[in-house]
Amino acid sequence: MAFALRYTELLDPTSVRRPTTVAKENRTQIDRTQAVTRTAVGGAIANLLLSVLKVVVGQLGHSQALIADGIHSLSDLLSDLLVLIAGHHASQEADRDHPYGHARYETVATLALGFLLLGVAISIGWDAAERLFQPDELLRPELSALVVSLLSIGVKEWLYWWTLGYAKQVKSDLLRANAWHHRSDAISSIVVFIGVLGTMAGLPYLDAIAAILVAVMIAKIAWELGWEATNELVDTGLEASRLKDVTDTICSVGGVRSIHMLRTRRSGGQASADVHVLVDPYVSVSEGHMISVLVERRLKRQIAEITDVTVHIDPEDDETVPVGPLLPLRAEALAIIASAWSAIPAACERERVVFHYLGGKIDIDVYLPISACLRNGWDPSGLRDELQNALAQETAFGRVRIYYG
């Protein structure tokens, strides 16, 4: 165990998870969960109160734009609930029925929300457009509508800065996105404020125009939510700049020569990756496995959205090496060389045989006891040639190397 630890430190000093580091990571995860929960619940309460207040005052104060803005705030309430769900699922482990986790539930809910908001936007916009062509149907907002729209601007701007502060503290893109959602609602409230104020000043069309503008904003949110959810459902990968970060992170691991066949996909704000990593063709299986473990850990640590990694270790680039005939596996290969070398006394002394499947051939490393070499006076170079010549008719085999120990 001590040797394994020293080996890991030599290969990648940053990969050793000391107790203090683990405790720090756990604390960071707790802080992130608390931040998501706190901002989502706080935002949901504020949006619920605002949406009810806007709809009620919009009805009583005769402002169609304020009613539309109230429904817009309701969309923010649903967004806060989605954030809360995302934070809850992020802390859950995969189970037998959901081996890749539960993130796609959030994706489906987001897509459904997008369709719902699109329907609301069309309804609001259609009603406001009809009123524009029927002057008698235009509403005349009262002072209460103006006050509530001004209150909404202040509350939504405060929610923006409050959520953004937590996003910076825990470095969460999810919270940062939700903060900007609050800012978009503040902007829509400004549009409503101008519309109500203009209508009260004698421009009766402005309230209906403001309602149409808010409907367009709601439709934009619906499109963005639906488009992102659809991209996740069809397994869209990370963007090019993020793929470069992934590539650089993998290539920074000791023992990695290059990578190929890198694939990523998004799911519920998270991402998974699988990649083929090219290593020295003569490393041991255990060393290759250690390299793959380090690649996985470093990706999860340095690329925030990546939570699942599959690493395939390659001794050669299987994108460029032509695929030849299937080669015999170990049991069959041992039987072939045993038959071919049966007449060579030195071959019967072999202690271990290692096969290297490279370039469409099987290279062979033969390990012989040095005591037998000294006792029998074997010529290493001549013995190697003899073993090589004995396999001349076996096209599956490449070169033979001899090691004494």
Q: Extract the runs of DSSP E, i.e. beta strands, from 204-335.
A: 258-267, 270-278, 306-314
Query: What's the rounded Cα separation, in Å, for the pair 182 and 157?
Result: 7
363 forms beta bridges with 356
Instruction: Please write the tens of the pLDDT for every residue from 323-357.
Output: 667 899 999 999 999 999 999 888 888 999 999 99
**CA proximity to 77, closest of 130, 156, 145, 146:** 156
Question: Tokens 């049991």 label which residue?
Answer: 331
Taking the CA of residue 372 as centre, how many other CA atoms within 13 Å lie in the half-sphere pointing to its CB? 15
CB proximity list for 222: less than 8 A, separation 6 or greater: 113, 114, 115, 116, 117, 118, 121
Please tell me the predicted confidence (pLDDT) of residue 174.
Answer: 59
**Vertex 243: Cα angle to 13 and 99 (nearest 5):** 80
**CA proximity to 174, closest of 265, 110, 220, 111:** 110
Segment holding 206, helix H or strand E:
helix 205-233
Query: What's the rounded Cα separation, in Å, for the pair 225 and 219?
Result: 10
Q: 240-314 falls under which CATH superfamily?
A: Cation efflux protein, cytoplasmic domain (3.30.70.1350)
Please tell me the predicted confidence (pLDDT) of residue 217.
Answer: 80
**CA proximity to 121, closest of 59, 213, 227, 225:** 213
Query: What's the rounded Cα separation, in Å, for the pair 230 and 48?
Result: 28
Query: What's the rounded Cα separation, in Å, for the pair 3 and 11?
Result: 12
Please tell me the predicted confidence (pLDDT) of residue 279.
Answer: 95
Neighbours of 344 (CB within 10 A): 15
Please tell me the predicted confidence (pLDDT) of residue 91.
Answer: 57
**Residue numbers in the chain where pLDDT is lower than 70:** 1-33, 75-76, 79-80, 82-94, 98-103, 105-106, 109, 113, 131, 134-141, 171-175, 177-178, 207, 268-269, 322-324
Taking the CA of residue 30 as centre, how many other CA atoms within 13 Å lie in the half-sphere pointing to its CB? 6
- C-beta separation of 55 from 75 below 8 A: no
- C-beta separation of 206 from 141 below 8 A: no
Q: 18-91+100-233 falls under which CATH superfamily?
A: Cation efflux protein transmembrane domain (1.20.1510.10)
Kindly indicate whether the domain formed by 330-404 is annotated with CATH number 2.60.40: no
Alpha carbon separation from 276 to 129, 266, 291, 317, 328 (Å, rounded): 56, 19, 12, 9, 23
Alpha carbon separation from 24 to 29, 169, 236 (Å, rounded): 9, 15, 33
Q: Where are the domains of the chain?
A: 18-91+100-233, 240-314, 330-404
